[in-house]
């Protein structure tokens, strides 16, 4: 009897261990197996930041619904949206680290933060990247996103940050056209201020997107886009000159710029409180009330040959990525959606309806594209003649440097640090 009781206890313990082991691996197993809808379709859970109340979000949502309709009973894409992009990016990192990586998601690519790619939890698209699909993307985009020999991200958005200006406010200050030199722009800012008009929308919180666009344009003007693209130390004479000039422009922004975020700065321009903003094409959808008053201008330079006449600062590549899976059916469903969303027709639709400028090629000779009017037409025309570009400096900073950036910008604006000290401290944090 005693032996039977011991054997019974051992069997029960073994069963308990087996059950616990099954519980511990269920999350991973569930990720590997394709979830199926009631109709038997493979379900892909998509996580992105484009709110459907924005033009680009509505255009993307429409494409997703069209894809679902075309693939009814085969593939179904279900979407979760988080419009707070800085918080969204951190959430994606958390999801990857906790084995809850979304089937499909996007993010800002940063060569100084390859934690996503090096996690081993992203799908490798290399075997699916045939010549026809690869030819959809701009030169160098796939190479940039190939990390450790794997294409773990698909090029998607790489928008240029252009100078939007309120022509009516410029006219009130007696300014006929947007200046083509930096000294001319400073003079225009002084004239606007004298006329009781706040020139620039800038801000320091989060990614300081507007401020860093201006900073990057200045840095490119001093150093050249090619030099900036080479990377390396940011503790250079050219960067210090750019910081010095940035400080001058800070005298021409709103009183709420210190501590403000994108929403505040964007609304200051959209409501006519400021005369200039440096933003991507998505701003166009927020300018409904003043769109006929707004123009798009080429960036100023020092006219010394350092940059091309038509040079551009862009956002970082914002690609799609997917969770790694051993389920062939799920993997093929992901590839089908990725090819759909980067197709020529989808890119055209997203551009014209969503005011988004994408990495996958857009046929600029298409009559619908060529004859686009209004601000989007101006934006596309400017982008079509770009001769040199560089990515917004903030997008390539380390995580530590990005954390310190808001306080350092505030210190620069308040003269708590000199431009040289600003660059020195930012460079130290960027090591």
- Asked whether residue 237 is assigned to any structural domain, the reply reads yes
Q: Percent of the chain having pLDDT more than 90? A: 82
Residues 323 and 240 in one domain: no
Q: Do both 138 and 165 map to the same domain? A: no
pTM of this structure: 0.85
pLDDT in tens, 13-35: 443 333 333 333 334 444 456 68
Lowest-pLDDT choice from 13-22, 147-156, 160-169: 13-22
Tens-place pLDDT, residues 289-332: 999 999 999 999 999 999 999 999 999 889 999 999 999 999 99
Task: Kindly tell me if the per-residue pLDDT of 375 is higher than 70.
Answer: yes
Judge if 149 and 296 occupy the same domain.
no
340 and 294, same structural domain?
no
**8 belongs to a structural domain:** no
Confidence of residue 39 (pLDDT cuts 50, 70, 90): confident
Domain that holds residue 332: 35-158+316-362
Full DSSP string of 241-279: HHHHHHHHHGGGB-TT-TT--HHHHHHHHHTTSEEEEEE
Q: Beta strand pairing status for 146-147 and 388-391?
A: unpaired
Question: Would you say residue 251 lies in a domain?
Answer: yes
Are both 153 and 169 inside the same structural domain? no
Residue 19 lies in a domain: no
Q: For the chain, how many structural domains are there in total?
A: 2
DSSP element (H, E) containing 166: strand 160-166
Residue 238's SS3 state is: helix
Place of tokens 């001319």: 184
Q: Tell whether 119 and 225 lie within a shared domain.
A: no
Same structural domain, 111 and 201: no
φ, ψ at 415 (rounded to 5°): 65, 25
Q: Is residue 16 part of a domain?
A: no
Token pair recorded at residue 183: 């000294």
Question: What's the pLDDT at 161?
Answer: 97
Q: What is the CA radius of gyration of the chain?
A: 25
Q: Is 108 left (phi over 0), alpha (psi -120 to 50) or beta?
A: beta
Q: How far is CA 339 from the centre of its chain?
A: 20
Same domain, 49 and 187: no
Would you say the C-alpha torsion 257, 262, 264, 269 has a positive or negative sign? positive
Q: Residue 100 is part of a domain; what is its CATH number?
A: 3.40.190.10
Identify the H or E element spanning 21.
helix 2-32
* 386 secondary structure, DSSP code: -
CA distance 288 to 374: 11
Are residues 82 and 224 part of one domain?
no
Distance, in Å, from the CA atom of 259 to the CA atom of 367, rounded to the nearest integer, reads 44
Token pair, residue 111, equals: 């060569």
Q: What is the pLDDT of residue 319?
A: 96
Same domain? For 345 and 384 the reply is no
| Mean pLDDT computed over 375-383 | 94
Tell which of 362, 396, 420 closes a domain.
Answer: 362
- Are the C-beta atoms of 63 and 71 separated by less than 8 Å? no
Q: Are residues 293 and 175 in the same domain?
A: yes
Nearest partner of 101 among 292, 370, 323, judged by Cα: 323
157 forms bridges with which residues in the sheet? 318, 358
Exposed/middle/buried for 365, CB within 10 Å: 0-12, 13-18, 19+?
A: exposed
What is the phi/psi pair of residue 305, to 5°? 85, 0
Query: Of 362, 385, 420, which closes a domain?
Result: 362
pLDDT tens string 62-80 = 999 999 999 999 999 999 9
- Cβ proximity of 84 and 54 under 8 Å: no
Asked whether residue 13 is assigned to any structural domain, the reply reads no
Average pLDDT for 348-362: 92
Asked if the model's pLDDT at residue 4 lies above 50, the reply is no
Please state, rounded to an integer, the average pLDDT across all residues of the chain.
91
- Does residue 369 sit within a domain? no
The answer to whether residues 356 and 381 belong to one domain is no
- Domain assignment present for 1: no
């Amino acid at each position: 009897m005693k032996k039977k009781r011991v054997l019974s206890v051992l069997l029960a313990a073994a069963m308990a261990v087996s059950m616990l082991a099954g519980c511990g691996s269920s999350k991973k197993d569930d990720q590997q197996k394709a979830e199926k809808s009631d109709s038997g379709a493979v379900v892909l859970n998509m996580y992105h930041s484009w709110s459907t109340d924005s033009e680009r979000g509505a255009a993307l949502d429409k494409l997703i619904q069209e894809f679902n309709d075309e693939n009814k009973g085969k593939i179904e894409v279900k979407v979760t949206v988080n419009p707070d992009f800085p918080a969204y990016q951190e959430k994606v990192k958390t999801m990857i680290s906790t084995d809850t990586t979304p089937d499909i998601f996007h993010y800002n690519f940063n060569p100084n933060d390859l934690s996503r790619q090096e996690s081993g939890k992203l799908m490798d698209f290399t075997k699916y990247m045939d010549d026809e699909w690869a030819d959809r993307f701009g030169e160098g985009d796939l190479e940039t996103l190939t990390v450790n020999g794997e294409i773990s991200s698909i090029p998607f958005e790489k928008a240029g940050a252009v100078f939007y200006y309120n022509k009516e406010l410029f006219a009130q200050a007696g300014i006929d056209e947007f200046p083509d030199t930096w000294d001319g722009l400073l003079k225009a800012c002084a004239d606007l201020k004298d006329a009781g008009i706040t020139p620039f929308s800038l801000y320091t919180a989060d990614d300081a997107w507007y401020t860093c666009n201006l900073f990057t344009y200045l840095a490119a003007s001093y150093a050249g886009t090619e030099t900036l693209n080479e990377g390396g130390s940011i503790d250079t004479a050219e960067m210090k000159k750019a910081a010095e000039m940035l400080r001058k422009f800070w005298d021409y922004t709103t009183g709420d710029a210190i501590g403000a975020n994108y929403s505040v700065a964007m609304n200051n321009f959209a409501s006519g409180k400021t005369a200039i903003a440096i933003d991507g094409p998505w701003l166009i959808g927020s300018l409904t009330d003043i769109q006929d008053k707004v123009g798009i201008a080429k960036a100023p330079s020092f006219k010394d040959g350092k940059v091309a006449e038509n040079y551009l600062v862009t956002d970082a590549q914002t690609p799609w990525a997917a969770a790694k899976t051993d389920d062939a059916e799920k993997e093929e469903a992901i590839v089908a959606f990725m090819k759909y969303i980067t197709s020529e027709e989808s890119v055209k639709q997203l551009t014209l309806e969503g005011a988004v400028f994408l990495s996958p090629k857009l046929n600029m000779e298409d009559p619908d594209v060529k004859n686009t009017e209004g601000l989007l037409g101006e934006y596309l025309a400017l982008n079509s003649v770009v001769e040199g570009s560089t990515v917004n400096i903030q997008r390539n900073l380390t995580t530590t440097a990005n954390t310190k950036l808001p306080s350092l910008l505030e210190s620069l604006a308040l003269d708590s640090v000199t431009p040289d000290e600003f660059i020195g401290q930012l460079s130290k944090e960027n090591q």
